[in-house]
A and B are shown apart, each in its own frame.
Chain A
Amino acid sequence: MAEFIRFDQITKFYGALCVVENLTLGIEKGEFVSLLGPSGSGKTTLLMMLAGFEAPTSGEIVVNGLAINGVPTHKRDMGVVFQSYALFPHMSVGENIAFPLQMRGTARAEIEQRVARALDMVQLSALRDRWPSQLSGGQQQRVALARALVFEPRVVLMDEPLGALDKQLREQMQLDIRDLHRRLGLTIVFVTHDQSEALTMSDRVAVFNKGKIEQIGTPRQVYDQPATRFVAEFIGETNLVEGVVERVSGGEALVKLPSGATLCAVADSAVAGQTVHLSIRPERIDLSDSRRPGGNSLETEVTDSVYQGDHLRVQLKNPAHPLIAKLGRRSQEYPPGTKIYASFAADDCRVIAP
């Protein structure tokens, strides 16, 4: 598939501060791409440049084969949903949604129809004549969404749109937006710092750090196969263990830990003699009384275990490293001091670029 949006070697400076550094990213038509990262990582700036609120210091933004660097915001045809909703406080809900259609000179009768349809889509038909200040946060968010979609923009940009909502509402809205994306075939670029939100909603996730993309891939890829230590730590919880590569063969590496134990790990690129980190997701660790054959097993001792409702969280002490394991709720209790083996498959243990 051809790339619909392309950021080509984009760099952005604020004064002497570099917020986006030589970044290249392609997005396909109909795709839902999340830009995920901590605040200050450049993800919002990238979105603002796509919307035309900021201009890149260098590099080119191409949409549908045309460079749009010089195109002013109001001619870019992109629907933007802001974190603070940015509804016009002096216009009613209906007027807010009609605004982009009026800007495009749509006929009055058609505006009526399309506003009604948009309100129906976000289930707010009853609130058409209310003022934005009379709506709840979730309702305001739906109005903002309807306003950004009603003129059928080429792309919908969302800047932390759910950040101000409480947890339950946020999860409902996540599913609603996902549903709209599928139903209308929208191209959506979604900025968030919430990793679970990014994993829930996106076709692909781009993980940002310090103005660069650390990794881009499907939610499964970025979670299961983190490319860098930053990605491994930022997305979900992980155990990081340091060791030295002994030998590499066929995408697998044998890594020797300081304690003397060796682990078998998936390695995309590793050289014998290199010091590396291994990432092991806590929920992939099993505890057993004896060493398990055909996988990795480490001899450990339980220091504490906490019941957390949906799982049991066990802290383990190994001669070299503390480990954390998350066990399903059917597992037994492990009193502190219990000697036990922590086992995990070679597939669940990955060598991470240093």
Chain B
Amino acid sequence: MPLKLTRAVFASLTVLFLIAPLIAILPLAFTSSVILTYPIPSWSLRWFEELFTADAWRRAIVNSLIIGGGTTAVATALGTAASLGLRNHLLFFRGSFRTLFLLPMVVPAVVLGVGLQVLLARLGLANSYAGVIIAHTVVAVPFVVVSVTGALSGIDKRVELAAQSLGAAPATVFRRVTLPLAMPGVLSGAVLAFATSLDEVVLTLFVAGPNQRTLARQMFSSIRENISPAIAAAAFLFIAATVAIGLVVVLSRSMMAKRR
């Protein structure tokens, strides 16, 4: 059937378009050459070595972990608390609160970056870890809110009522019932917050000083200025981390699904 064939060809080509770039970059992480092209003359781990020993890259990795960790902690705490507050359907301006919390996802990063650069300088937070963590938290928090609100809305209100009727005080209901049930959402929100921070470039360009250079920022300038296979090695780490994070999320989802 020609239609069926057309569909198969179209779908395959699109899958190729989507996936091929990600696959193409991986082998170059193991090249021994100094230029980022195929064919690969011989295999080597020198670029991973470079990544973990060269000062600029090593510091970038450490900075990414510090800033990513800080962002995850702040964004998860703020986002989870706010999602719990949003559960109250009787709240005035509930919709407006929600819109405000999600809006950082929409506003162009460059626009926010310009504004934050000036503000943070005025607050004395320019070129500081705190400043970068604040900037990253602003864009990471919507992911936490979406994820936790989703998990909370999946909780049957009557389960909490049942816990009350069985003798659990409100704090106990929260600790023993609400929080455990929302946990998968909180976890995947935290993972998304970390991923957002890890991948953030534009705000970092504006608010970070040379001492807060993150891995993504370092990749950006190295693509721009002196591209080398170190990029491919960094990309390999990113993709490996993505797959790992994806597995965590899938596992937590299936855990949630199993209980439902």
Q: In the complex, are there CB atoms of A and B closer than 8 Å? A: yes
Which residues in A have some Cβ–Cβ distance to B below 8 Å? 51-53, 72-80, 82, 84, 86-90, 99-100, 103-104, 131-133, 144, 147-148, 151, 157
- Given known contacts A76-B165, A86-B159, what 6 new A-B pairs fall within 8 Å (CB)? A80-B162, A89-B260, A90-B259, A100-B167, A103-B168, A148-B166
**Quick one: which of B156, B158, B163, B165 has the most chain A CB within 10 A?**
B165
- Picked from A51, A76, A84, the residue with its CB within 8 Å of the CB of B156 is A84
Report the separation of the CA atoms of residues A79 and B164 in the bound assembly, to the nearest whole angstrom.
10
| Contact among B156, B166, B180 for A99, CB-based, below 8 A | B166
The answer to whether B165 touches A131, judged by C-beta atoms less than 8 angstroms apart, is no
Q: Is the CB of B165 within 8 A of A74?
A: yes
Chain B, 15-70, CB within 8 A of any chain A CB: none
- Report the minimal beta-carbon distance from A334 to chain B, rounded to whole angstroms: 51
- Which A residues are in CB contact (< 8 Å) with B180? 90
Given A86-B156, A88-B177, A90-B181: A79 in contact with B165 (beta carbons within 8 A): yes
Contact A86 B158 (CB under 8 A): yes
Contact B259 A89 (CB under 8 A): yes
Identify the 8 closest CB pairs spanning chains A and B, nearest first: A103-B167, A100-B166, A86-B162, A80-B165, A73-B164, A89-B259, A86-B158, A86-B159
- Which residues does chain A contribute within 8 Å of B258, judged by CB atoms? 131, 133
Does B172 touch A at the CB level, under 8 Å?
A: yes
7 A-B pairs, CB-CB below 8 angstroms? Answer: A53-B164, A74-B164, A79-B166, A80-B162, A88-B163, A103-B166, A147-B166
- Inter-chain contacts of A86 with B (CB < 8 A): 156, 158-159, 161-162
Chain B residues in 8 Å Cβ range of A157: 165
Which A residue's beta carbon lies closest to that of B158? A86
Q: How far is the CB of A233 from chain B (nearest CB, A)?
A: 31
- Chain B nearest CB from A140 CB (Å) reads 12
Contacts of B173 on A, CB cut-off 8 Å?
74
Distance of B110 from chain A, by nearest CB (Å): 43
Q: Which residues of A sit under 8 angstroms from B81, Cβ to Cβ?
A: none
- Are B167 and A133 in contact, CB atoms less than 8 angstroms apart? no
Chain B contact residue count (CB 8 A cutoff) = 22
A157 to B165, CA, bound (A): 10
CB contact under 8 A between A74 and B168, given known A89-B259, A131-B259: yes
Chain A residues closer than 8 Å to B165, beta-carbon distance: 51-53, 73-74, 76, 78-80, 148, 157
A76 to B166, CA, bound (A): 9
Contacts of B241 in A (CB 8 A): none
Docked-complex contact B168 and A89, CB < 8 angstroms: no
- Encoded as 1 (CB less than 8 Å from any A CB) or 0, chain B from 3 to 22 comes to 00000000000000000000
CA distance A53 to B166 in the complex (A): 12
Q: B119 within 8 Å of A by Cβ?
A: no
| Residue in chain B with minimal CB distance to A157 | B165
* B172 partner residues in chain A, CB cutoff 8 A: 74, 103
In chain B, positions 162-200 with a C-beta closer than 8 Å to chain A are 162-170, 172-173, 176-177, 180-181
State whether B177 touches A74 (Cβ < 8 A): no
Question: Closest residue to A147 on the B side, CB-wise?
Answer: B166
From known contacts A103-B168, A133-B260, infer whether A87 and B163 are also in contact, taking CB-CB under 8 Å.
Answer: no
* C-alpha gap A84/B160 in the complex (Å): 12
Q: Which residue of A lies closest to B177 (CB)?
A: A88
The smallest C-beta distance from A76 to any residue of chain B, in angstroms, reads 7
Measured in the bound complex, the distance between the Cα atoms of B166 and A75 in whole Å is 9
**CA–CA, A77 to B167, complex, Å?**
7
CA separation between A145 and B140, bound complex, in Å? 44
In the complex with contacts A88-B177, A103-B172, A151-B167 CB distance below 8 A = yes
Q: Once bound together, how far apart are the Cα atoms of A74 and B156, in whole Å?
A: 18
Give the CA-CA distance A104 to B166 in the complex, in Å. Answer: 9
CA gap between A53 and B180 in the complex, in Å? 22
Closest-CB distance, A153 to chain B (whole angstroms): 9
Shortest CB–CB separation between residue A49 and chain B, in angstroms? 13
CA–CA, A99 and B159, complex, Å: 12
- Picked from A52, A79, A82, A100, the residue with its CB within 8 Å of the CB of B158 is A82
Contact, CB under 8 Å: B161 / A53: yes
Minimum Cβ distance to chain A for residue B28 (Å):
45
**In the complex, what residues of A have CB within 8 A of residue B181's CB?**
89-90
**Are A151 and B166 in contact, CB atoms less than 8 angstroms apart?**
yes
Question: Which residues of the other chain, B, contact A103 by a CB distance below 8 angstroms?
Answer: 166-168, 172
**A103 CA to B166 CA, complexed, in Å:** 8
CB neighbours (8 Å) of B259 from chain A are 89-90, 131-133
The answer to whether B166 touches A82, judged by C-beta atoms less than 8 angstroms apart, is no
Complex interface residues of chain B between 130 and 171 (CB less than 8 A to chain A): 156, 158-159, 161-170
